[in-house]
Structure 1
Amino acid sequence: MSDKPTIVLVHGAWADGSSWNAVSRELQSQGFTVQTPPNLLRGLTGDAAYIASYLAQRTSGPVVLVGHSYGGAVISGAGAAGGDVKALVYVDAFMPDEGETVFAILGGSGSALDVPDPTTVLDLAGYPGAPEGDAEAFLKPQTVHQSFAQDLPEADRLLIASSQRPITLSANTTPAGAPAWKSIPSWAVIGTEDRVIPPAVQRSMAERAGATITEVAASHVSMVAQPQASIDAILAAVASLG
């Protein structure tokens, strides 16, 4: 229907648009236009600018902008910079304030990624054109199985491990810009079994943003494991538009 907002789903690190398939399929069945643009995973400033440009060029009318994990940091930067974004939905996501970085948010949190030696949970690899000292980070297979998607069937975990899109280390150390959640209403879905962004960290960020919070007994990839929670939060955001 023409009066329905467009729903734009932004994936996080080590994922692609297919991570939203269960959510997309249901929303499309309800008549929504759903888009899942690529998140470049190269650097927070550039990634946010890309999504803002995508919104400006590829959407018309109101938008509900949704981000998972690192995608939350991206939509925080993009939400007020392109398109007519009316609501933000964060799923197991970062909601940084201006000047914060992903790694700093995780520091001291008990995250499976907050370890003295990152190479115990990540595999690092150089990439063409990388700034000096930068590298791509891949999740080690055991990190996927034990901490990233521990509530998914083994076959799904194996697929995630083999098809992951890496994120640069620099994307996680780039300070966030002014956040869209200060001017746009937000919702947050918190996976209570999330071992990547611990629930307490998610809750603190969501409360700071004044988000409407829901919880689901799921891992960091709750939109895969328990997609209805994400669907419900998105529909609540849609309903708020009147």
Structure 2
Amino acid sequence: MTKPTIVLVHGAWADGSSWNAVATELQKQGFTVFTPPNLLHGLANDAASVASFVAQRTTGPVVLVGHSYGGAVITGAGTQGGDVRALVYVDAFIPDEGETVFSILGGSGSALDVPDPTAVLDLIGYPGAPEGDAEAYLKPATVHESFAQDLPEADRLLIIASQRPITLGANTAAAGEGAWKTLPSWAVVGTEDRVIPPATQRSMAERAGATITEVAGSHVSMVSHPAETIAAILAAVEAVGE
């Protein structure tokens, strides 16, 4: 049977390069790997974009992997296009229908759950924005202290310089019906995650019936500890059959 294609979906403040360590190893093992752009401008459209990519750029079975906000995106995209057989969540949101990123973080102890978002985010307008919307960038201190605190300083500085913003609207958009209700799922929980606290990750993963792996990593554990993410993806591959 043909090996499944692995599609890695990045989260906010990132791009496909956030998957480099994972993608390189999977390619060495003979997998076709894609890291498509996540538009970060609205949950429904972002999910539709990833689903369209999967439908048009893959053939055969697919394992769909999402980091952070990318988890919310694959939750919507998983049943919209292509032959997706499994979902893997890495330090990720696994929303149920009607939930939003901000509602999930509310009361969680997240570094982003603060009364004044401008304490941790820089907000700027963008062309064509709906009234009241803006793009959010992480403040440097947020990257250093809460987003990627287990990476070397040089890597954190690169994240600050190259981060792709996410709109506030993407974080307040309600999720649709979750693909995890019909597809098997795996979850890698970073126990040192300060963006999506581990208890919140575990709660969502348990609700989804996911097979859970824990790693002593930050919100970007697939960068600092890629082996655990690779192992979870390979477990999903084995479960759906090569």
- Whether TM exceeds 0.5 here: the answer is yes
Match of 1:216 in 2: 215
Q: 1: distance between equivalents of 2:97 and 2:16?
A: 26
Match of 1:61 in 2: 60
Q: 1: distance between equivalents of 2:221 and 2:82?
A: 27
What SS does the corresponding residue of 2:229 show, helix, strand or coil? Answer: helix
Q: 2: distance between equivalents of 1:26 and 1:58?
A: 21
TM-superposed CA distance for 1:103, in Å, is: 0.1
* Correspondence 1:6-25 to 2 at 5 A: 6-25=5-24
**Structure 1, residues 101-126: CA drift from partner, whole Å, max 9, x if none?**
00000000000000000000000000
Q: 2: distance between equivalents of 1:130 and 1:174?
A: 15
TM-superposed CA distance for 1:97, in Å, is: 0.2
Q: 2: distance between equivalents of 1:51 and 1:74?
A: 8
Q: 1: distance between equivalents of 2:130 and 2:45?
A: 14
Q: 2: distance between equivalents of 1:134 and 1:90?
A: 27
* Correspondence 1:17-56 to 2 at 5 A: 17-56=16-55
Q: 2: distance between equivalents of 1:241 and 1:47?
A: 26
Q: 2: distance between equivalents of 1:55 and 1:27?
A: 18
Determine whether 1:100 maps to 2:99. Answer: yes
Match of 2:120 in 1: 121
Q: 1: distance between equivalents of 2:79 and 2:178?
A: 8
Whichever residue aligns with residue 56 of structure 2, its letter is Q
TM-superposed CA distance for 1:8, in Å, is: 0.1
Q: 1: distance between equivalents of 2:89 and 2:101?
A: 15
Match of 2:238 in 1: 239
TM-superposed CA distance for 1:241, in Å, is: 1.4
Determine whether 1:194 maps to 2:193. Answer: yes
Q: 1: distance between equivalents of 2:240 and 2:47?
A: 24
Q: 1: distance between equivalents of 2:110 and 2:160?
A: 19
Runs of 4+ more than 6 Å apart: none
Whichever residue aligns with residue 46 of structure 2, its letter is D
TM-superposed CA distance for 1:3, in Å, is: 1.1
What SS does the corresponding residue of 1:215 show, helix, strand or coil? Answer: strand
Q: 2: distance between equivalents of 1:76 and 1:110?
A: 23
Q: 2: distance between equivalents of 1:220 and 1:185?
A: 23
What SS does the corresponding residue of 2:102 show, helix, strand or coil? Answer: helix
**Structure 1, residues 149-194: CA drift from partner, whole Å, max 9, x if none?**
0000000000000100000000000000010000000000000000
Match of 1:229 in 2: 228
What SS does the corresponding residue of 1:130 show, helix, strand or coil? Answer: coil
Aligned residues: 241
Give unpaired runs (5+ residues) of structure 2. Answer: none
Q: 2: distance between equivalents of 1:65 and 1:73?
A: 12
**Aligned Cα RMSD in Å?**
0.5
Q: 1: distance between equivalents of 2:102 and 2:96?
A: 13
Q: 2: distance between equivalents of 1:60 and 1:76?
A: 20
What SS does the corresponding residue of 1:3 show, helix, strand or coil? Answer: coil
Identity %: 81
* Correspondence 1:127-146 to 2 at 5 A: 127-146=126-145
What SS does the corresponding residue of 2:212 show, helix, strand or coil? Answer: strand
Whichever residue aligns with residue 22 of structure 1, its letter is A
Whichever residue aligns with residue 120 of structure 2, its letter is V
What SS does the corresponding residue of 1:189 show, helix, strand or coil? Answer: strand
